[in-house]
Structure 1
Amino acid sequence: MMNYTYGKGEYENWIVSETEFSPDTLGKCESIMYLGNGYMGLRSVTEEPYLKEVRNLFVNGTFNKFGEGEVTELPNLADVSRIDLRIDGERFSLEIGNTENYIRQLNLKEAELIRQFDWTSPKGKTLRFRFRRFVSLDNLHLIGMKMEIENGNEPVTISFDSGIDGRMTNSGTQHFLEGEKRIFDKRFIQLLQHTTESKIDIVMNAAHKVLVNDTELKNPLMNIDRRKIWLTFEAELAPGDKLEMEKLTTVYTSIDRPFSEKGTTLQKLREVALQDLKTSLDIGYDELFQKHVQAWKERVWNRYNLHIQTKDGFDLLSLRFAIYHLTAMAPAHDERMGIGAKALSGEGYKGHSFWDTEIFILPFFIYTNPRVARSLLTYRYLGLEGARKKAKENDYEGAMYPWEAAWPSDGEVTPVWGAVDIVTGKQTRIWSGYIEQHITADIAFAVYQYYQITGDQDFMDQYGYEMVFDTAKFWASRLEWNEEHGRYHINDVIGPDEYKEHVNNNAFTNYMAHFNMKLAINYYEELKRNHSPILNRLNEKLNLDKAYSLWLDRSEKIYLPEPNENFVIPQDDTYLQLKEIDLTKYKQSKKVGTLFLDYNLEQVNQMQVTKQADVLVLFYLLNQVEPFFNEEVKRANFHYYEPRTLHDSSLSLSTHAILANDLGDTQLAYSLFRRAAEIDLGPFMHSSDHGIHAASIGGIWQAAVCGFAGIRLEGDRLSIHPKLPDHWEELTFTIYWKDEPVSIKITKYRLTIRTKGEKEIPLTVFGERHVCQGELEISYLSK
């Protein structure tokens, strides 16, 4: 059972708690309480093992392909979290004996996992357990663990095994060759792993410090077995005695910078990794933890400065939860790496990156941490190699971005087969990697959004222009001329609504392709006027003069579905003619995908039912470029598509929340925001078994800041149009505009904007133009 009210004092609305232990619902807390720092993610599994546990430790970028017929995935590294405890020689488990005062908590403020409980053995012996764990934001290679056991009423013998277990798999797939195992000085454990296909070396070191009543236990029993290395400790505890264990682990790989540079040997990597562990052990758990806490304070909480005065503390907790996870998932240290759909919290989607990053996650970083945003977009620039390869394989020009991406140069890594077809009993074909192509334009939009908000000309000169030009070349080659209608179509695609496969003229895809080509035209003309050397360089590489003439012609002739007599834009050529069914039970279901208990995908393809926001996300994006769609059209489409949308994708709810707020239905907007927050934080205990919903977490922040606060890009201006929920008294946060920090405070009656520098920031507030330099205060009681 989840509880969010345990935080008191300075920790109020900072604590995510599980208050009952259940061996059948382990996955949720393993995922939502996972610990990460962008370099690695450690699933928050219990120390003692259980049948339904999933032990995962991932290091970003270490992709490996097990064999032919499989796709590359983030491999599950050796486990360091398991501790095999024995009480008087018998295996310790919460499935036996009696447990009281159980609680497992993630402290978002300090990024620490804590678990504690009182336990009485079957023989009546009482013990108090407390476990702590963190993945350091101060030292990206460091994992810290601490265990405390206090004895109660009778003498007891405690023994436990702890080390590094390389027998981990990804759902049965072993990605590593067995490497060398060593124990130095009866204390420092080292395991080497080597990926089977990508040839990446992993060096893991661990060390323990075990005390009984402040006296250190030495000379543990040393053990080495196949793919496993560990130490065994044993102690006799009298009533009132206390055992403490500190375990520190360092994780290094051969793709880490600077070790990925030529000339770096495995031996050098081993030496650096081991020395880091020795230095950390000298410092000790408590001081290392305080360094970690300080890093979170300075780099995260003080920077983003987000706070709500609200009658419902869950809203504030959910936004802090979002910022915590956005920090834990982002590889700020290395632009060669992206963000997986499950972040680093589980094996779902194999660590692959989708359009989730650009549309749902990236805006948080563009507005609040442009350096990280630039890194994530540079990852896509490095992915041009794979995108060009995919385009060529499909007989197109330019760059055709993969639907699922791993290492930048890998290209398309979407699996071919998925879940069962309930009608045929066969595996369902996954068409996304072949025909869900809108991601190419989504990435171009992200470049546009980043440039408009940050003004980062250096990024554009080095990377951005080339990305936009090459993606526009793809769309120009992708268009199909329809002689009957005298225009270009885009046929046989999947739009954001993945319940509609092999459709023609998906509105989102067509409009975004048009945007991509028009953006390329604008950038080409701008460079020709003002930066001809850059244009000449790119022209020589990409033959832009020829491409430019094609963009001019084809962007004017592409079919853009227009509103019908009811102001509804058809999602695709056939959607409005499909049959309608009663969706009530599916919309009310607490589980996603229940539609597929009654129908297969082929049948769903013939119904007016939508998986996620499609036309509506188009409104949200393109109205940041120019006023493509007026409120009448937005309102008509919202009221048409919302009843037909099951929100079976976690990406959907936040966009609907933002659009509902734009249309003045703040109550519905808040309801949708709350549902988005409850995808991971809600009471359903199997919602996050395979990992957190990274895009939804980015959407939670967007629903609050871009929705309720009304922060939006409007051409070359920052637009602010706040509409707070009824029970929110105040919302404050900090964003960046053209590298200038902007502090924003919103109440029911007043908007206050403060800047630190001397730059003038052009604003649109409630449709009126303003300039802020220093401070601007606007009252809007009458709005």
Structure 2
Amino acid sequence: MVTNTLMNYTTGRENLQHWLVSEDGFRPEWLGKGESVFSLGNGYMGLRSVTEEHYANETRNLFVAGTFNKFAENEVTELPNAADLIWMEFKLDGIRFDLTQGNILSYRRTLNLKEAELVRDITWQSSNGNVYDLTFRRFVSMDNLHVIAQRVTITPKQNSVLSLTSGIDGQTTNSGVQHFLEGNKRLYDGRFMQQIQTTTESGIDFVFHSVHRFYQRESMNPTSIIKMDRRQIFFDYSDIEIPANEVFTIEKYSTVFTSRDKELNAVTTEELANHALNVTRNVESKGYENLFIEHIQAWDELVWSRTPINIKSKEMFDQLAIRFAQYHLAVMTPKHDNRMNVGAKGLSGEGYKGHTFWDTEIFILPYYTYTNPKIARSLLEYRYLSLPGAHRKAKENGYDGAMFPWESAWLDDGEVTPVWGAADIVTGEATKIWSGFIEQHITSDVAFAAWQYYHITGDQEFMDHYGYELLIDTAKFWASRLEWNESENRYEINQVVGPDEYKEHVNNNAFTNYTAHWNIQKAIEYVELLRIEKPNLFEQLNAKLDLETAEARFRHVLDLIYLPQVREDGVLPQDDTYLQKEIIDLSKYKNQENVGSMFYDYNLEQVNEIQVSKQADVMILMYLLEDLFSADVKRANWEYYEPKTLHDSSLSLSTHSVLASDLGNRELAYSLFRRASEIDLGPNMKTSDAGIHAASLGGIWQAVINGFGGVRMTSGNLRISPMLPEAWDELTFSINWKGETLDIYASHDKVVLTRRAPSIEPLTVEIYGEKQTITETFTSEVLSV
């Protein structure tokens, strides 16, 4: 762990208490942490929080959701790093403003989670002894998804002269890969800079605009000259005189539009550019304060008033942690367009190339299903719209139905997992990434998420239009994927990777087999339901999916699918060979400072032969399909697998926290929750360089609501059994259940459930194992586990 951390979580006061994340100090070798955790966005675009001025170790990223491009045939598609719009270079009295030079007399950078604004306050002394106060503010608007606004104030302690260079820099790359053609540049009205670029392979037009405003007591226009260079358009402003102790203000307004924008579908590049220019003119006329007010209101309506979570804890970092998770969930999710989904690093970095994994369905989607079903439905519609790619992957592999890609990008891209990865420490060769070939549980994960969404929301229209088809089409894949073992008289699923990616090419991974069986079982139920209750829809889907043939296959295989069985000691084998592998002392790796430390001593082939797991595997099965396993079996598997799980995936800690809550181990549940919370937000300054950990942030919400809050949907019914950790005195939160909002208050003594809009229709909720019928408000005493 990095002990001399720069992170400060206690700067919030009064109405901003537990809302601020700060960085006290500037260290060039630790730039990546702040760039990621302070990143701004609105789901349409994500802006990595680099400084205005350049530094050697920075990673300047601006990503627009859904704008994938492929650089070359031997590479996979990725989100292209768009032009740098926040770039500014300052010379103060002839000396470049550079925090690696001169003296930093004071420094603090703060992300205000409530208002989604980044503020950097600096007092800097240049090499000639002059002193300046500088404040940098910026936000990416949640009200107008195309807008980035900046405000910089400079207050010299002596009479000073400022020179400024600022504009649009399209020389950015993805780690050296340039995804854009040169494009066109132009200046309008003597002030509005425009740059148009097009992606090289996908042919998506990007239109960027930037404009400046200046104030010194009142609005003014400094001497300037417009310049253009390769992929750049910018202004040089010179000889700006600033009297001692007077404030000079620079405002910069930038907009981003693309030809992929849904609301502007089928317009020409010229029409897109003209529209974007007019929007930029309107944005600039509003000014920073008015734009900021609208932005704050949009955030409040989307997140803070809609889904408040309040924790009264002896460790108030916990309150900050859940707000941090909610903030980034809003920043990363493309709620505006059902053709797009959430990347494993959100929109905060180049890690995983902007691709979508099972992270969405299992770790992120539940947050939206319980709090904003409209967004949850949009994310599921993405999977439905990407069925052509899933069908193509199934066909290419010799299967039927929908075989969802392990990594997904644009709707019809299909599988986009890279083939080669990190170095093998033994052979020195690149390690082959097998997940795109054989990590197939993603298909049943999508089916489970659709089923879970339906039962929590009651959205019958979704099921009619998308859900039934998704569940049946995925089941068709599994029914064709099964392999007959003649000697055992059963169907098996061989040569796969389960959730535990430290075990490759295994047979009968329990998670994969059980969820495939569940998927096929649900498909049988829904085919029968459609035939009886929705004959017209049955006929439509029969023509599309050949339901009658599929159903016969489903019924034939269902009872012949091999499901690994619990041993006498209660342990469910993770796969056919896991329990026969070598057992070693894992304490060194369980207590590691950085994930993946085991690979300093072993390569993946060697790790494959040791009883060690990267992340929850059997345990997440017992979380998702909990009705299939008794409390004793869950406990036995916890005691066996938790010591062998290194939590080298950021997805893992939150799942184990929820399960520890289920088992009544509140101390361990809380410890795991804290560790999950500190993956990005904690003091280690090197955990987030490639971007934030999107799934972990969804998992933090699950640890709070599904774990400590005890909220669960089982067999279509709602269960609420809060069990707070000792550190917490109170927890209040809200969830959506079948179209209505429920407010829950929990302490160590009681639980109060309130229907926000009381209904004459009674609501049945299982609270601590007993079914309760609730009309308005219900109070229950807390029961011990």
TM-score interval for Structure 1 and Structure 2 normalised by the shorter chain: over 0.9
Matches within 5 A, 1:185-204: 185-204=189-208
8 Å CA contact 2:744, 2:751 repeated in 1: yes
1:757: Cα distance to partner? Answer: 3.8
Structure 1 residue 400 and structure 2 residue 411: aligned?
A: no
Structure 1 residue 223 and structure 2 residue 223: aligned?
A: no
1:193: Cα distance to partner? Answer: 0.8
1:782: Cα distance to partner? Answer: 6.5
Structure 1 residue 71 and structure 2 residue 76: aligned?
A: yes
* Distance (Å, rounded) in 2 between the aligned partners of 1:219 and 1:334: 43
Q: State the match for 1:311 in structure 2.
A: 314
* Other structure's SS at 2:134 match: strand
Q: State the match for 2:140 in structure 1.
A: 135
Name the aligned partner's letter for residue 270 of structure 2. Q
Q: State the match for 1:285 in structure 2.
A: 288
* Other structure's SS at 2:18 match: coil
* Distance (Å, rounded) in 1 between the aligned partners of 2:207 and 2:411: 23
8 Å CA contact 1:186, 1:219 repeated in 2: no
Matches within 5 A, 1:510-659: 510-623=513-626, 627-659=627-659
* Other structure's SS at 2:559 match: helix
Name the aligned partner's letter for residue 175 of structure 2. S
* Other structure's SS at 2:730 match: strand
1:664: Cα distance to partner? Answer: 0.6
1:723: Cα distance to partner? Answer: 0.5
Structure 1 residue 723 and structure 2 residue 723: aligned?
A: yes
Q: State the match for 1:503 in structure 2.
A: 506
8 Å CA contact 2:734, 2:744 repeated in 1: yes
* Distance (Å, rounded) in 2 between the aligned partners of 1:28 and 1:638: 33
1:217: Cα distance to partner? Answer: 2.2
* Other structure's SS at 2:263 match: coil
Matches within 5 A, 1:354-393: 354-393=357-396
8 Å CA contact 1:144, 1:247 repeated in 2: yes
Matches within 5 A, 1:620-769: 620-623=623-626, 627-755=627-755, 756-758=757-759, 759-769=761-771
TM-score (normalizing by structure 2): 0.98
What is the CA deviation profile of residues 382-408 of structure 1, one whole-angstrom value per residue up to 9, with x for unaligned ones? 111100000000000000000000001
Q: State the match for 1:338 in structure 2.
A: 341
Q: State the match for 2:60 in structure 1.
A: 55
* Distance (Å, rounded) in 1 between the aligned partners of 2:139 and 2:374: 25
Name the aligned partner's letter for residue 358 of structure 1. E
Q: State the match for 2:470 in structure 1.
A: 467
* Distance (Å, rounded) in 2 between the aligned partners of 1:363 and 1:597: 36
Q: State the match for 1:161 in structure 2.
A: 165
* Distance (Å, rounded) in 1 between the aligned partners of 2:448 and 2:74: 33
* Distance (Å, rounded) in 2 between the aligned partners of 1:202 and 1:771: 55
* Distance (Å, rounded) in 1 between the aligned partners of 2:610 and 2:288: 57
* Other structure's SS at 2:270 match: helix
* Distance (Å, rounded) in 2 between the aligned partners of 1:661 and 1:782: 12
* Distance (Å, rounded) in 2 between the aligned partners of 1:571 and 1:16: 40
* Distance (Å, rounded) in 2 between the aligned partners of 1:77 and 1:668: 43
8 Å CA contact 2:95, 2:126 repeated in 1: no
What is the CA deviation profile of residues 298-350 of structure 1, one whole-angstrom value per residue up to 9, with x for unaligned ones? 22100002111111110000000000011111111000000000000000000
Q: State the match for 2:152 in structure 1.
A: 147
1:241: Cα distance to partner? Answer: 2.1
* Distance (Å, rounded) in 1 between the aligned partners of 2:775 and 2:386: 39
Q: State the match for 2:776 in structure 1.
A: 774
Q: State the match for 1:19 in structure 2.
A: 24
* Distance (Å, rounded) in 2 between the aligned partners of 1:215 and 1:701: 46
* Distance (Å, rounded) in 2 between the aligned partners of 1:44 and 1:142: 15
2:212 to 193, 208, 213: 208
* Distance (Å, rounded) in 1 between the aligned partners of 2:194 and 2:245: 35
1:6 to 3, 11, 19: 11
* Distance (Å, rounded) in 2 between the aligned partners of 1:207 and 1:773: 56
Change (3 A) 1:767 1:554: same
What is the CA deviation profile of residues 487-546 of structure 1, one whole-angstrom value per residue up to 9, with x for unaligned ones? 110000000000000000000000000010001011111111111111110011111111
* Distance (Å, rounded) in 1 between the aligned partners of 2:390 and 2:245: 64
* Other structure's SS at 1:24 match: helix
TM-score (normalizing by structure 1): 0.98
Name the aligned partner's letter for residue 765 of structure 1. I
Structure 1 residue 100 and structure 2 residue 101: aligned?
A: no
- Alpha-carbon RMSD across the aligned residues, in angstroms, is 0.9
1:219: Cα distance to partner? Answer: 4.6
1:162: Cα distance to partner? Answer: 0.6
8 Å CA contact 1:587, 1:646 repeated in 2: yes
* Other structure's SS at 2:181 match: strand
* Distance (Å, rounded) in 2 between the aligned partners of 1:637 and 1:780: 27
Q: State the match for 1:490 in structure 2.
A: 493
Name the aligned partner's letter for residue 173 of structure 1. V
* Distance (Å, rounded) in 1 between the aligned partners of 2:134 and 2:237: 17
1:126 to 123, 128, 131: 131
* Other structure's SS at 1:110 match: coil
1:590: Cα distance to partner? Answer: 1.4
Q: State the match for 2:121 in structure 1.
A: 116
8 Å CA contact 1:438, 1:495 repeated in 2: yes
Q: State the match for 2:301 in structure 1.
A: 298
What is the CA deviation profile of residues 470-495 of structure 1, one whole-angstrom value per residue up to 9, with x for unaligned ones? 10000000000001111110000000
Name the aligned partner's letter for residue 369 of structure 1. N
8 Å CA contact 1:748, 1:781 repeated in 2: no
* Other structure's SS at 1:50 match: coil
Paired residue total: 777
Structure 1 residue 415 and structure 2 residue 418: aligned?
A: yes
* Other structure's SS at 2:228 match: strand
What is the CA deviation profile of residues 247-295 of structure 1, one whole-angstrom value per residue up to 9, with x for unaligned ones? 000100001022223xx11111111111111001111011101110111
1:781: Cα distance to partner? Answer: 5.8
Q: State the match for 1:447 in structure 2.
A: 450
1:456 to 459, 465, 474: 459
671-680 vs 231-240, which moves further: 231-240
* Distance (Å, rounded) in 1 between the aligned partners of 2:435 and 2:30: 31
* Distance (Å, rounded) in 2 between the aligned partners of 1:233 and 1:302: 43
* Other structure's SS at 1:122 match: coil
Name the aligned partner's letter for residue 421 of structure 1. D
Q: Which structure 1 residue ranges, 5 or more long, are not aligned? A: none
* Distance (Å, rounded) in 1 between the aligned partners of 2:776 and 2:171: 58
* Distance (Å, rounded) in 1 between the aligned partners of 2:227 and 2:762: 66
* Other structure's SS at 1:289 match: helix
8 Å CA contact 1:307, 1:732 repeated in 2: yes
Name the aligned partner's letter for residue 166 of structure 1. G
* Other structure's SS at 1:274 match: helix
* Distance (Å, rounded) in 1 between the aligned partners of 2:440 and 2:558: 17
* Distance (Å, rounded) in 1 between the aligned partners of 2:74 and 2:305: 47
1:184 to 188, 198, 203: 188
Structure 1 residue 437 and structure 2 residue 422: aligned?
A: no
8 Å CA contact 2:213, 2:219 repeated in 1: no
Name the aligned partner's letter for residue 236 of structure 1. E
8 Å CA contact 2:447, 2:471 repeated in 1: yes
Name the aligned partner's letter for residue 459 of structure 1. F
* Distance (Å, rounded) in 2 between the aligned partners of 1:18 and 1:775: 43
What is the CA deviation profile of residues 444-486 of structure 1, one whole-angstrom value per residue up to 9, with x for unaligned ones? 0001100000111111111111111110000000000001111
